[in-house]
């Protein structure tokens, strides 16, 4: 990744620099896909997830079908909403034209293993999203998202190459991880645990915008970014909600993002 700094210098920092560099690349991949506002791994963007009929979302004002109390019909907020805003909608197609605000998402994945660190994991369940996606009649689209919260990286002692948690934190503080240019994280702190190190890595919290073209056919929606990245998904427009459904390694419980028509 550009601006990642000198890996050789990081390796000399107690052998943990290369691990920090590799993790920064993995963490960037763990971010919800900015191109299609992929699942935020937490099940909600604020408040308790509408998928379980939880309490009112923090941004809610309009009253849902069931009034202001908890439940599936609660107030419309970042995590609440009407039943059609719940995850689990099968692909049904429809018209995606218009502007859609992100409501919530669901995922069967809460953490990922770090390939070059056996036993190491990065958990993105604490990363939350706000944003929107717009589809125009000329077959172009645009997405904007802001991710906040933090990743948790657990590294066993064996992954540190003889280094310390303090050295790992110092590696994350170098340019390309937290410092300029092109940082991956907004902050990084590491502490010693009984099995190794635990690092808390802050999401950048900076708006990101991606543009491209799209093709909608039946229940299939194919997005192609301006840089040529292709993402093939399925979708369902149900009432005032758009469900984007993403293929993953658990087809029985696919990742899904829900949006509300603006």
Residue 114 has pLDDT above 70, yes or no: yes
The phi and psi torsions of 57 (rounded to 5 degrees) equal -70, 155
Smallest CA-to-CA distance from 168 within 152, 188, 187, 182 is with 188
pLDDT given at position 108: 62
pLDDT given at position 105: 79
Compute the C-alpha angle 38/132/126, nearest 5°. 50
pLDDT, one tens digit per residue, over 155-192 is 999 888 888 999 999 988 988 888 888 888 899 999 99
pLDDT given at position 252: 56
Q: What is the mean pLDDT of the chain?
A: 73
Q: Which residue has the higher pLDDT, 186 or 40?
A: 186
pLDDT given at position 69: 43
Per-residue pLDDT band at 100 (split at 50, 70, 90)? very high
What span, in angstroms and rounded, lies between the C-alpha atoms of 179 and 3?
10
12-16, 37-41, 159-163: lowest mean pLDDT where?
A: 37-41
Residue 225 has pLDDT above 60, yes or no: yes
């Amino acid at each position: 990744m550009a601006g990642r700094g000198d890996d050789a210098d990081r390796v000399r920092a107690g052998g943990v620099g290369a691990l920090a560099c590799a993790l920064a690349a993995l963490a960037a991949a763990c971010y919800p896909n900015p191109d299609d506002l992929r699942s935020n791994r937490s099940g909600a963007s604020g408040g308790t997830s509408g998928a379980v009929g939880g309490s009112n979302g923090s941004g809610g004002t309009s009253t849902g079908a069931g009034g202001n109390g908890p439940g599936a019909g609660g107030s419309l907020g970042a995590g609440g909403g009407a039943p059609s805003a719940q995850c689990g909608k099968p692909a049904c197609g429809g018209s995606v034209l218009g502007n859609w605000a992100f409501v919530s998402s669901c995922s069967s994945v809460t953490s990922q293993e770090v390939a070059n660190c056996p036993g190491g994991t990065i958990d993105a369940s604490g990363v939350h999203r706000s944003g929107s996606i717009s589809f125009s009649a000329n077959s172009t689209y645009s997405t904007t998202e802001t991710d906040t919260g933090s990743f948790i990286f657990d590294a066993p002692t064996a992954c540190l190459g003889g280094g310390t948690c303090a050295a790992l934190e110092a590696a994350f503080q170098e340019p390309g991880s937290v410092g300029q240019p092109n940082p991956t994280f907004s902050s990084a702190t590491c502490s010693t645990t009984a099995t190794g190190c635990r690092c808390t890595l802050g999401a950048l919290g900076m708006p990101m915008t991606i543009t491209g073209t799209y093709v909608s056919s039946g229940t299939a929606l194919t997005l192609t970014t301006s840089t040529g990245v292709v993402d093939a998904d399925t979708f369902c427009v149900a009432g005032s909600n758009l469900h984007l459904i993403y293929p993953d390694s658990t087809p029985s419980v696919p990742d899904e993002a829900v949006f509300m028509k603006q």
